[in-house]
Amino acid sequence: MAVQGEEAKRYITAEELRKHNTASDLWICIQGKVYDVTSWVEDHPGGDLPLLSLAGQDATNAFVAYHPASAWAHLGRFFVGHLADYRVSAASSDYRRLVAEFSKSGLFDQKGLVAPLTICSILVLLVAAVSGVLLSEGALVHALCGGMMGFLWIQTGWMGHDSGHYRIVGHPRLNRLAQIVAGNCLAGVSIAWWKRNHNAHHIACNSLDFDPDLQHMPFFAVSSKLFASMKSYFYERKMNFDAVARFLVSYQHWTFYPVMCFARINLFAQSILLLLSAKKVPNRWQEILGVAVFWIWYPLLVSCLPNWGERVMFVVASFAVTGIQHVQFCLNHFSSSVYVGPPQGTDWFEKQTMGTLDISCSPWMDWFHGGLQFQVAHHLFPRLPRCHLRKVSPFVRELCKKHKLPYNIASFWEANAMTIRTLRAAALRARDFENPVPKNLVWEAVNTHG
């Protein structure tokens, strides 16, 4: 019995914990207890990236943010020992207390009417767009139908986003069905790709080499630090700042909106690349079938238009309107603080507040922003249904004020201006001739002096 007691009281130093930071030997600390989750990496519902990003660290804040109270019961089988000299910052302590209060009050379980209303709006837009194409001969009507298809994709985007963070409907299978129909079938975007990308973004918010939402080379660079051709740990490749990248980044503040009009193409491509890759994809064949459904009905609908001019107009209108959502994705983070390296569990709460920007708007505009207007609250409480974000936002603001942390907020138009200023500043740095890259004749011809 004495031996068992000594094992139960085993203490592990922070230095020893840091050594267990690989996929084949992965330990994390939660609330002062150390767990060996090596065997869980492949089966983790949130994917392997969150665990790998926080390997060998205190992951308590991220754990309470992403897991309901029922998840604590599953930790016992991974227990290794206690972390010696475990400490919690005042900010993290208050944050965890706030999570517990929201949970006790039932906010995480009260989903409101957002999902039913979103489903209704999707159905109305789908019926209207398809009817306009099939029943009308007017070119203007067909263009408007393309725009409605873009708004439909925006609403499916919000639905996919919500259903990836929490159950928008009661039963897990119904939630899964909502994800596949909204994301894969209607929008052509794999929900598996989105969850992998989005989880990595949330865990490593605004890390230049770990957050995929800031890794848009060669088209965009939000910081001149990217000019060092650093490695992307999400895409597992080097983000080369070569002559082509220098040319494109040099004018990124002019090309931002045009590129956003067709950013949907990247989502299609990334979805297909993941589904055809050797990476582990849960329910791969469901995902592939859902995407295949999209690539059957959407081209078929486009083919029903009378000529190629209207077909191109319809597709461009669909993509351009959806570009509004892609701009929204960028506004919350492009102009915020960035850093290099993996996320640190001990300041995870602080990094979330520093790397995000809220958008101020009237309540009647909440449908337009899809919850992203309360980005700080969403990053701190990702399981919180969208309908409660406005309610909890003042608590987040007070918490930031108490601990002297930034709480950044701007109007939609101000956020656009801040984003363009950030892109312009990096663009001007990219034109610095003292930072040589392989020659590109196009870039040199455009920027020749004299």
SS3 358: strand
Radius of gyration of the chain measured on its C-alpha atoms = 23
Contacts of 365 (CB under 8 A, 6+ apart): 373
Confidence at residue 1, expressed as pLDDT on a 0 to 100 scale: 36
pTM flag (> 0.85): yes
Q: Which two tokens stand for residue 257?
A: 């909106």
**CA–CA dist 274, 266 (Å, integer):** 12
Confidence at residue 445, expressed as pLDDT on a 0 to 100 scale: 47
Chain center to CA of 248: 24
User: For the chain, where do the domains classified as CATH 3.10.120.10 start and end?
Assistant: 2-87
Helix (H) or strand (E) holding 29: strand 25-30
Of 391, 370, 398, nearest to 102 (Cα)?
Answer: 391
**CA–CA dist 27, 75 (Å, integer):** 12
Architecture of domain 2-87: Roll (3.10)
**CA–CA dist 28, 11 (Å, integer):** 14
Confidence at residue 2, expressed as pLDDT on a 0 to 100 scale: 41
**Which portions of the chain are predicted below pLDDT 50?**
1-3, 6, 438-450
Confidence at residue 58, expressed as pLDDT on a 0 to 100 scale: 93
Per-residue pLDDT tens digits for 25-36:
999 999 999 999
Per-residue pLDDT tens digits for 95-132:
999 999 999 999 999 988 898 999 999 999 999 999 99
Confidence at residue 436, expressed as pLDDT on a 0 to 100 scale: 56
